[in-house]
Amino acid sequence: MSYQVLARKWRPRKFAELVGQEHVVRALTNALDTGRMHHAYLFTGTRGVGKTTIARIFAKSLNCERGESADPCGECAVCTAVDAGRFVDLLEIDAASNTGVDDVREVIENAQYAPARGRFKVYLVDEVHMLSKPAFNALLKTLEEPPPHVKFLLATTDPQKLPVTVLSRCLKFNLKRLLPEQISGQMRHILGAENIPYEDAAIAELARGADGSLRDGLSLLDQAIAYGGGSLRADDVRAMLGSVARGQVMGVLQALAEGNGETLMVECTRIASFSPDFGGVLDDLASVLHRIQLMQLVPGYRPDDEGDNSALAALAQQFAPEDVQLYYQIATTGRRDLSLAPDARTGFEMALLRMLAFRPDAGGGAPAAERPATAGAQRAPAPTPARAAAPVANERMHVSSVAEAPRAAPPVAAAPVAPREPVARDAAGLPHWDSLIEQANLRGPLGQLAQNAALRGREGATLVLALQPAHMHLAVEPMVSQMEERISQALGERVKLRFTEERAAAAETPAARAANAREAAQSAAEQAIDEDPLVQSLKREFGARVVPQSIKPFEN
């Protein structure tokens, strides 16, 4: 007996066997059970997610000899004929090769005749968006008012190309891309039934390579079984797909955390020795960075893959959260720009070197626990905000801002341990909170937490900060620990932070002061424009008016 590929052998025969697409199955099941069926259905989605399979099961449900239901028997002559592709009242039309109006006219003429064997004549039009415009026009009338014994099932991977006149005549179901977990679960089920030995890591690689399509995943599974001589091993799958082990990606990140360019190039050479798909390697890198960021910012998060837990936790301590965001952005844009590089390896290496070049704590050598803290201290301090408005220039009609601060200076290569300049303190010995935020270089999520807090006092080595209730969710680990490290570095002494809930704190935070300064600057700008002699002259002589939203304070 000839071999049948897994994608065909394990094609679902009932709605209950479908993987994913529960929203579509539920709607069709209810329609069949209640008898409230539409005459035209449109199934959209990427390749290999079940569009044609659902249409065939629906045709069986309509014509099963044991009665019309959402659970066809699968044993009667009609069900077996549909499964074998020889049921005379199920007419499958490939619109990619039958695009003309003559093909559609033939369908319309045959639709008038009663079904030869079943209760309904079902037309399954695959890739319907490939029909020509005249063909669509010829189909519209029959699609809107077909004979009672006819059902239209349309499938497409590109619904944007369908005329709105066709879309308005169909019930539309959008089939989702399958998750890697759903694809890997079905693969395990199939391999168990086929008595084929496998490694879990191999299944994970294939599920990622399927890119949301179960059919593509099963085709890759067939190929991997043949490649491995009847078994499924992770190394064989990686060699076949041109992918690399997760540990190789972790090695790249460790080299970045250490700021070691030589080690980074060694890791690049090791990865290149596998002749991988470098775009896929950058995807894997972005995936690991995503999991690291979740560990940093989502309390209680733990990766599904327990084997990577300790390594990810160590990297989460070594990278600052904002740096993870930067590296993720570089990985995704590097993936997009690979086609522009002289060759894929050069594009891949340049993406990693870009991460190293923009690495904030370029000095390296700090212990792992101190790296998030020292990263902030190694940036140059930002200039202090301007406090006075410059005169109005009538020729340009620009107004100086009293609130906007110049941008922070770019990172430098030095790695001092102590702050560059002492933090200003008041008579009670407290640090001025606004200047301390700048000195500790609190940016990103840490900056949001600091800007919305008000310094209430000091209790020994503890700084007491007040937050309004709406911002208390920001004060979570590891955010608080990282802020303590950076503030301790800026002060030159070890301090702890304690956050209290206080509604009145909203008016006394740096964020509130900055907002007030912006409002004052905007008001001053609007007043300066309104009082400008040239503007007043234009109003008098030409009836001109000033659009308030168009006035912005001048930025230094």
Say how far apart CA 493 and CA 487 lie, in whole Å. 9
Say how far apart CA 17 and CA 50 lie, in whole Å. 11
- In terms of C-beta density within 10 A (0-12 exposed, 13-18 middle, 19 or more buried), how is residue 535 classed? middle
Is the CB of residue 143 less than 8 Å from the CB of residue 116? no
Any bridge partners for residue 174, and if so which? Answer: 44
List pLDDT tens digits, range 146-163. Answer: 899 999 999 999 898 899
| Lowest-pLDDT range of 127-141, 285-299, 420-434, 494-508 | 420-434
Determine the CATH number of domain 246-373.
Answer: 1.20.272.10
Say how far apart CA 130 and CA 339 lie, in whole Å. 29
Closest CA to 291 of 308, 271, 307: 308
Mean pLDDT rounded to a whole number for the chain: 81
Those residues with Cβ within 8 angstroms of residue 69's Cβ, 6 or more apart along the chain or in another chain:
32, 33, 61
Is the CB of residue 406 less than 8 Å from the CB of residue 382? yes
Q: Which fold has domain 380-407+428-556?
A: GMP Synthetase; Chain A, domain 3 (3.30.300)
Domain boundaries, the chain: 6-174, 180-241, 246-373, 380-407+428-556
Would you call 60 helix, strand, or coil by DSSP? helix
Is the CB of residue 520 less than 8 Å from the CB of residue 403? yes
Residue 366 has pLDDT above 80, yes or no: no
pTM here is: 0.57
Q: What is the number of residues in the chain?
A: 556
Cβ-count burial 323-352 (b if 16+ within 10 Å, e if not): bbebbbebbbebbeebeebeebbebbbbbb
Of 547 and 337, which is predicted with more confidence?
337
Is the CB of residue 553 less than 8 Å from the CB of residue 521? yes
List pLDDT tens digits, range 207-236. Answer: 988 888 999 999 999 999 998 898 899 888
| Lowest-pLDDT range of 59-68, 174-183, 292-301, 401-410 | 401-410
Q: Which residue has the tokens 């900056």?
A: 447
What are the C-alpha distances in Å from 377 to residues 306, 373, 407, 417, 548? 34, 7, 17, 8, 41
Determine the CATH number of domain 6-174.
Answer: 3.40.50.300
Helices (H) and strands (E) in the chain, counts: 23, 10
The single-letter DSSP state of residue 431 is B
List pLDDT tens digits, range 6-57. Answer: 999 999 999 989 988 899 999 999 999 888 889 999 999 988 899 889 988 9
Say how far apart CA 556 and CA 548 lie, in whole Å. 21
Would you call 132 helix, strand, or coil by DSSP? coil
CA atoms within 13 A on the CB side of 191: 24
Both structure tokens of 316: 């989460």
What is the CATH architecture assignment of 180-241? Orthogonal Bundle (1.10)
Is the CB of residue 117 less than 8 Å from the CB of residue 78? yes
Q: Which pLDDT does position 12 carry in this prediction?
A: 92
Phi and psi at residue 174, to the nearest 5°: -95, 115
Say how far apart CA 394 and CA 287 lie, in whole Å. 54
DSSP 73-89: -S-SHHHHHHHHT--TT
Question: Element (H or E) spanning 172, and its range?
Answer: strand 171-174
Say how far apart CA 512 and CA 528 lie, in whole Å. 24
Residue 374 has pLDDT above 70, yes or no: no
DSSP 217-283: HHHHHHHHHHHTTSSB-HHHHHHHHT---HHHHHHHHHHHHHT-HHHHHHHHHHHHTT---HHHHHH
Residue 98 has pLDDT above 80, yes or no: no
Would you call 414 helix, strand, or coil by DSSP? coil
Q: Which residue has the tokens 């014994």?
A: 149
The amino acid at 544? A
Q: Which pLDDT does position 555 carry in this prediction?
A: 64
Cis peptide leading into residue 478 (ω within 30°): yes
Would the CA dihedral through 437, 440, 441, 446 be positive or negative?
A: negative
Question: Element (H or E) spanning 155, and its range?
Answer: strand 150-156
Is the CB of residue 69 less than 8 Å from the CB of residue 119? no
Q: Which pLDDT does position 305 carry in this prediction?
A: 56
